Amino acid sequence: QVQLVESGGGPVQPGGSLRLSCAASGINFSLYRMGWYRQAPGKQRELVADITPGGITNYLDSVKDRFTISRDNPKNTMLLQMSSLKLEDTAVYYCNAAHMWLGAKFNYWGQGTQVTVSS
């Protein structure tokens, strides 16, 4: 059974920092592209950052230089270090694992963790 479990969300003041974690089980983690998505109320879910099995990263323009995504393959864990948080970063953040193998797509989601940036 595949499980992606996020943790680390919560309330934070503007300019503050949070670190989100995603613990994966039930998948061969090192083969998966891992990503963080977020969804704010009334908005579509958007990709915040992702990281390939080899460690190549990609970021949403609005979070570049503020967020850092990383992965620890032996520990089946992905992190998102968020700093200089802004009000507009408020959203539910979701962990995603994606992989393609012989034409089949494998795509899994965590349950989400709320990040609330407020003064």
The share of the chain scoring above pLDDT 70, in percent, equals 100
Both tokens of 39, joined, read: 């969804």
Instruction: Give the model's pLDDT for residue 3.
Output: 98
Q: What are phi and psi of 73, to 5 degrees?
A: -60, -45
Both tokens of 33, joined, read: 């592209």
Q: How confident is the model at residue 114 (pLDDT cuts 50, 70, 90)?
A: very high
Identity (one letter) of the amino acid at 71? R
Instruction: Give the model's pLDDT for residue 49.
Output: 98
Give the whole-angstrom CA distance, residue 79 versus residue 98. 16
> Mind listing the pLDDT tens digit for each residue in 20-59?
999 999 999 999 999 999 999 999 999 999 999 999 999 9
> Mind listing the pLDDT tens digit for each residue in 84-113?
999 999 999 999 999 998 999 999 999 999
Instruction: Give the model's pLDDT for residue 113.
Output: 98
Instruction: Give the model's pLDDT for residue 72.
Output: 97
